[in-house]
Chain A
Amino acid sequence: MENRPLEYDYTVAKWFMLTTVVLGIVGMLVGVILAWQMAFPAVNLMAGEGLAEYTNFSRLRPLHTDSVIFGFTLSGIWATWYYVGQRVLKVSMAESKFLMVLAKLHFFIYLLVVVAVVGSLLLGISTGKEYADFEWPIDIAVVVVWVIWGMSIFGLIGIRREKSLYISIWYYIATFLGIAMLYLFNNMEIPTYFASGGIGAWYHSVSMYSGTNDALVQWWYGHNAVAFGFTVPIVAMIYYFLPKESGQAVYSYKLSLLAFWGLMFVYLWAGGHHLIYSTVPDWMQTMGSVFSVVLILPSWGSAINMLLTMKGEWQQVASSPLIKFMILASTFYMFSTLEGPIQAIKSVNALAHFTDWIVGHVHDGVLGWVAFMIMAALFHMAPRVYKREIYSKSLMNTQFWIQTLGVVLYFTSMWIAGITQGMMWRAHDEFGNLAYSFIDTVTVLHPYYTIRAVGGTLYLVGMFLFAYNMYKTMTSSRRVEESELQNASPMGA
């Protein structure tokens, strides 16, 4: 009987790292195409009239949102889960064949879902519900993937050596439970072919909800998809990766617990702010507004905790591009969790709703917070899973500044565009006649749409630098010893 030292098994983490990078590029490339289409509509025909059906804005838009949410972000969440989960629970995937098989199944069924999603959306097969576009067969496959992930989380927790669950694990569990509940309820749908006795396509369905109820459930889902997809798991990441990379324990563990429960309780009630001045009951709109403002507290609780974790170690921000990514992510988290509540205030919403300011808000959150944190996590993981140093520090720095410039151009142009748009829509003369027609706003907004497309393109360039750096790290970077992997990640020049 041979006795070899026990090691963490990163096989599945590595696979998900790969899909994070690939689907990140796909999602953001499609986003950039859309941005150029908004500025120059001729881009809709970029592949000729014959293929216009597949390249027009409306066909590509769900592909952009879904590949960033369910492709890039989910892959990032799972890559980090299969890394962080083992480490903070102090148990290796190699210790349980069952969990290893589950994790591999998780990955491969997820890949099938990705193929089905990309194919169906390109063919125009969609339920028409924003961020819940998948038809029922795909929904069922998504549920299978999710249940497998749940079994993997609780299975790993079940065989752990570390008695207390580190705060990141709480956040991963919340991600699992939150999305499970949201996804099931919002995707309740009736397959029309079977319900009607054979009419229409077999994959088509209609929602179980209609009218105002549909809107309520949809935005309870939509907003909390942001909560449990773009916030909670990303907070899980920063609570592990920033302390680990900087070598500083979380500034206040007690504050992290308090912020966790605060976030869990408050976030679920804020979705009503998507439906202000709509047909939903007024008290729900007010509740959505109020809870959105209250949400600043737990969000800033986590973000400030992260910034304070760097207390006395701020020189690391200057010296390490990896820390830079995380500190900027945390700062963007503070920024977008302040911006969101401001937009949810009824009087501000009257101006902001349906304008490009909302689009700007989503992107400073996703590009500045979510994507920066996921990329930082992957950079930290790479030397540890491939046993090689990060290929190039200067490339990381270049990527950081190109992408930061990209985000700034994106959200500033959308602020100006959105507020201009809102003001023009409501401008009227002394008799109440509207001062502008819709096309007047389109003309005025054109330069800002172009700036946004430039910002998005810069971010995409950064994504390619990221992919190249990761590829070189994986394949040809200097090999490192275990002793070099304690805190700050080793990086080549």
Chain B
Amino acid sequence: MDIGTLQAYAYFFFVAFLVVVLYSYIYHLYSSQWKGKRDYEKYGNIALHDEITDQPIETISKNDDKKVGGINE
């Protein structure tokens, strides 16, 4: 098999692989939502509730909560 043919096969399988990855990602996004693992749509609210005093949509750690609301000087 010459290098050109190899390249062509490699190209085809690479594209096919990426298509599988893409569709798997779509499946992952939707199935996570159906199964109740993660509600991606709630992250849209990060932009809407973005005051510093707003409760984070997902808090990074419980210990951080007490810092919200004031700076000590």
Interface residues of A (CB under 8 A from B): 1-8, 87-88, 90-92, 94-95, 160-164, 166-168, 239-240, 243-244, 247, 249-250, 252-254, 257-258, 261-262, 265, 487
Query: Which of B22, B25, B44, B70 has its CB near the most chain A CB atoms (within 10 A)?
Result: B44
B48–A88 contact, CB under 8 A? no
Q: Which residues of chain A have C-beta atoms less than 8 A from B33's C-beta?
A: 254
Contact of A1 among B26, B40, B57, B73 (CB under 8 A): B73
Q: Which residues of chain B have C-beta atoms less than 8 A from A250's C-beta?
A: 44, 47
- Complex alpha-carbon distance, A6 and B44, angstroms: 24
A239–B73 contact, CB under 8 A? no
Contact of B52 among A7, A168, A243, A247 (CB under 8 A): A7
Q: Which residues of chain A have C-beta atoms less than 8 A from B17's C-beta?
A: none
Contact of B70 among A4, A166, A167, A487 (CB under 8 A): A4
Contact of B46 among A7, A88, A92 (CB under 8 A): A88
Q: Nearest Cβ in chain A — how far from B7, in angstroms?
A: 9
A257 with B29, Cβ < 8 A, contacts A5-B70, A249-B41 known: yes
Q: Which residues of chain A have C-beta atoms less than 8 A from B69's C-beta?
A: 5-6
Q: Which residues of chain B have C-beta atoms less than 8 A from A5's C-beta?
A: 53, 69-70
Contact of A95 among B47, B48, B51, B71 (CB under 8 A): B71
Whether B2 is near chain A, meaning CB under 8 Å from some CB there, is no
A254 with B40, Cβ < 8 A, contacts A4-B71, A162-B60, A163-B59 known: yes
Whether B16 is near chain A, meaning CB under 8 Å from some CB there, is no
Whether B68 is near chain A, meaning CB under 8 Å from some CB there, is yes
Q: Which residues of chain B have C-beta atoms less than 8 A from A3's C-beta?
A: 70-73
Measured as residues with beta carbon below 8 angstroms from the partner, the interface class of chain B is 20 to 34
Within 19-73 of B, Cβ neighbours of A (below 8 Å) are at: 22, 25-26, 29-30, 33, 40-48, 50-54, 56-60, 64, 67-73
A4 with B68, Cβ < 8 A, contacts A163-B58, A254-B41, A262-B22 known: no
List 7 A-B pairs, minimum CB-CB distance, nearest first.
A249-B44, A163-B58, A87-B50, A166-B46, A250-B44, A162-B56, A254-B29
Q: Which residues of chain A have C-beta atoms less than 8 A from B42's C-beta?
A: 253
- Complex alpha-carbon distance, A268 and B73, angstroms: 48
A162–B29 contact, CB under 8 A? no
B56–A163 contact, CB under 8 A? yes
Inter-chain pairs besides A90-B52, A254-B30, 20 sampled, C-beta below 8 Å: A6-B53, A6-B70, A8-B52, A87-B51, A88-B47, A90-B50, A94-B71, A161-B64, A162-B58, A162-B59, A164-B43, A164-B46, A166-B46, A167-B43, A168-B47, A243-B47, A244-B50, A252-B41, A253-B44, A254-B41
Interface residues of B (CB under 8 A from A): 18, 22, 25-26, 29-30, 33, 40-48, 50-54, 56-60, 64, 67-73
Q: Which residues of chain A have C-beta atoms less than 8 A from B59's C-beta?
A: 161-163
- Complex alpha-carbon distance, A258 and B29, angstroms: 9
> Which residue of chain A is the closest to B71 with respect to CB atoms?
A6
What are 25 residue pairs bridging A and B, where the CB atoms are less than 8 Å apart in the complex? A1-B73, A3-B72, A4-B73, A6-B52, A8-B52, A87-B50, A88-B47, A91-B52, A161-B60, A162-B57, A162-B59, A163-B58, A164-B58, A168-B47, A243-B48, A244-B50, A249-B41, A249-B47, A250-B44, A253-B40, A254-B29, A257-B29, A258-B29, A262-B22, A265-B18
Q: Which residues of chain B have C-beta atoms less than 8 A from A162's C-beta?
A: 46, 56-60
Q: Nearest Cβ in chain B — how far from A315, in angstroms?
A: 19
> Which residue of chain A is the closest to B49 with respect to CB atoms?
A90
Q: Which residues of chain B have C-beta atoms less than 8 A from A88's C-beta?
A: 46-47, 50
- Complex alpha-carbon distance, A193 and B29, angstroms: 55
Q: Nearest Cβ in chain B — how far from A2, in angstroms?
A: 5
Q: Which residues of chain B have C-beta atoms less than 8 A from A244's C-beta?
A: 47-48, 50
Q: Nearest Cβ in chain B — how far from A55, in angstroms?
A: 45
Q: Which residues of chain A have C-beta atoms less than 8 A from B70's C-beta?
A: 3-6
Q: Nearest Cβ in chain A — how far from B33, in angstroms?
A: 7
Q: Which residues of chain A have C-beta atoms less than 8 A from B72's C-beta?
A: 1, 3
Q: Nearest Cβ in chain A — how far from B68, in angstroms?
A: 6
- Complex alpha-carbon distance, A6 and B64, angstroms: 14
Q: Which residues of chain B have C-beta atoms less than 8 A from A95's C-beta?
A: 71
Q: Which residues of chain B have C-beta atoms less than 8 A from A262's C-beta?
A: 22
Q: Nearest Cβ in chain A — how far from B51, in angstroms?
A: 8
- Complex alpha-carbon distance, A249 and B42, angstroms: 9
A243–B40 contact, CB under 8 A? no
Q: Which residues of chain A have C-beta atoms less than 8 A from B40's C-beta?
A: 253-254, 257
Q: Nearest Cβ in chain B — how far from A311, in angstroms?
A: 13
Q: Which residues of chain B have C-beta atoms less than 8 A from A87's C-beta?
A: 47, 50-51
- Complex alpha-carbon distance, A92 and B54, angstroms: 13
Q: Nearest Cβ in chain A — how far from B3, in angstroms?
A: 13
Q: Which residues of chain B have C-beta atoms less than 8 A from A90's C-beta?
A: 50, 52, 54, 56, 68
Q: Which residues of chain B have C-beta atoms less than 8 A from A6's C-beta?
A: 52-53, 68-71
